[in-house]
Amino acid sequence: MRNRILAAAGFIFTLAARPAAAIDITALTSDDPLNGWRTVTYPGGKTADYTAGIGSAAYRHPGDPGDIIYTLSDRGPNFTCGDAAKIVGEASQPLCKGVAGARFYPTPDYSPSIYRLVLDRTHGTFAVKDVIALKTASGVPVSGLLNPQTAAKTDTAIDLAGSTLAYDPNTVDAEGLVKLSDGSFWIGEEMGPSILHVAADGRIVERFVPADAAADYKDADTRIVASLPAILSKRQPNRGIESMAVSPDERYLYFILQNPLANPDAKAYTAARNTRLFKFDRAAGKLVGEYVYQLDTPETFGFDTTKSQSAPRISELTALGADRLLVLERTDKTTKLHEITLSGATNILGSKWDDAATSPTLEQSNEIAATGIVPVPKTPRFDTFRDAKAAPVKIEGVALLGDGSLALINDNDFGITGETTGVLIVEGAVTADPTAYKRP
């Protein structure tokens, strides 16, 4: 093992000695005009230039060229009234008064989109080649505003004039992405939470939602299947499904909740470590597995000083083989990658842990051994605090490239606070089954 300092695209990475093989990192940046979005004037006259937040997820299909990845944007620029004071200025605060759970949407017409990126390691750049906006089954672009949720808690969307924005059953908070051999996509969606099958042109073909939420989507312009466990409606707001992976044979989808459920309440969510990972049989159209993933404790994230157990969260899944996954676990400033396997872990699907009447709940049972549940085992593979100290914050996308290396991309939140989008190419962190990144 060697120590290495690598300078690339303005970043410096220190790779400390480790017992595993050497990790090499290349940083890619972009000035592609397709990264731009819109200039916004805030109340009080302050202006801001928004970029497209293309890094909420990443995926490369094994049949695609080696350095092409697909990425995803989420619901568009948005921030809470609490954050608005420092982003917009004090002129924003009167607009929040009397609006419960208010969240600003400065550009409410933004459509969550899929992006095709070409990575150029030689020149340290990436370029955006295609943009596919998500649409209803009738072809109308969807926004990233809020669904009319009653089974799950939601926020209130307001624009920069303080006007309340209407709820819409077609809106999507896209966060996880895979592409299939037929050109279609599957997306993990956060606020529902839900999973969506999307045609190659961006039309939403089918949306799977919690069993108790069918009425909330009755007017949606797509096929709604209310078959996910009803307990998923207990997701903490903004902490739903933020990941998606697919098995190498494309039979199974995997997705995981970003954080433990607010089960039975937000107090349990705040202290919980047990989040839920699901396995979905595409042909059968139903779940076949549910497993417990225990989040790391907050003090193990080197760049963050928080002691809050709700700070660690899951932002990505990548399949390394059959039932073998790479999990991106992060705080605001620190990113870790853990390899897991479902083999030997307890399948709790349909058990008492899916029943809201169970007490104490799974989320209240951090001492997991006492429940008899075997969680998925975790093997650390990468840690930005240890392996890439100058990496971007809020990394949310991971894709396996054609040589088995990883492409990591950050979510810059549309540049609201000045963050830019970067891609890290990481070699030597994992060894994947070749069928996960090469055409069989």
Amino acid identity, residue 143? S
Sheet (strand 313-321) strand order: 313-321, 324-330, 335-341, 378-383
Burial 24-52 (b: 16+ CB within 10 A, else e): ebbbbbbebebbebbebebbeeeebebbb
More confident residue, 235 or 6: 235
Q: Which residues contact 142 (CB under 8 A, 6 or more apart)?
A: 111, 112, 133, 134, 135, 136, 168, 170, 171, 172, 204
pLDDT at 135 over 80: yes
Q: Report d(CA 159, CA 175) in Å as an integer.
A: 22
CA nearest to 69, candidates 22, 10, 110, 28: 28
Q: Tell me the chain's radius of gyration from C-alpha atoms.
A: 21
Q: What percent of the chain has pLDDT over 70?
A: 95
Q: Quote the mean pLDDT of the chain.
A: 93
Is the omega angle on the peptide bond into residue 33 within 30 degrees of 0, that is, cis? no
pLDDT at 21: 61
What is the pTM (predicted TM-score) of this model? Answer: 0.94
Q: Report d(CA 427, CA 421) in Å as an integer.
A: 20
pLDDT at 100 over 90: no
pLDDT at 16 over 50: no
Is 388 within 8 Å of 406 (Cβ atoms)? no
pLDDT at 439: 86
pLDDT at 17 over 70: no
Greatest CA separation for the chain: 59
pLDDT tens, position by position, 166-187: 999 999 999 999 999 999 999 9
pLDDT at 203 over 60: yes
Handedness of CA 24, 29, 34, 40 (dihedral sign): positive
pLDDT tens, position by position, 344-385: 999 999 999 999 999 999 999 999 999 999 999 999 999 999
pLDDT tens, position by position, 63-85: 999 999 999 999 999 999 999 99
Q: Report d(CA 235, CA 150) in Å as an integer.
A: 13
Residue 162's Cβ-count burial label (10 Å; 0-12, 13-18, 19+) is middle
Q: What is the DSSP string of 402-438?
A: TTS-EEEEE--GGGTTS----EEEEESS----GGGTS
pLDDT at 407 over 90: yes
Q: What percent of the chain has pLDDT over 90?
A: 91
State the CB neighbour count (10 A cutoff) for residue 19: 5
pLDDT tens, position by position, 264-300: 999 999 999 999 999 999 999 999 999 999 999 999 9
- The residues that bridge with 382 in the sheet, in sequence order, are 337
Q: Report d(CA 189, CA 200) in Å as an integer.
A: 18
pLDDT at 15: 35
pLDDT tens, position by position, 241-266: 999 999 999 999 999 999 999 999 99
pLDDT tens, position by position, 143-172: 999 999 999 999 999 999 999 999 999 999
More confident residue, 1 or 350: 350
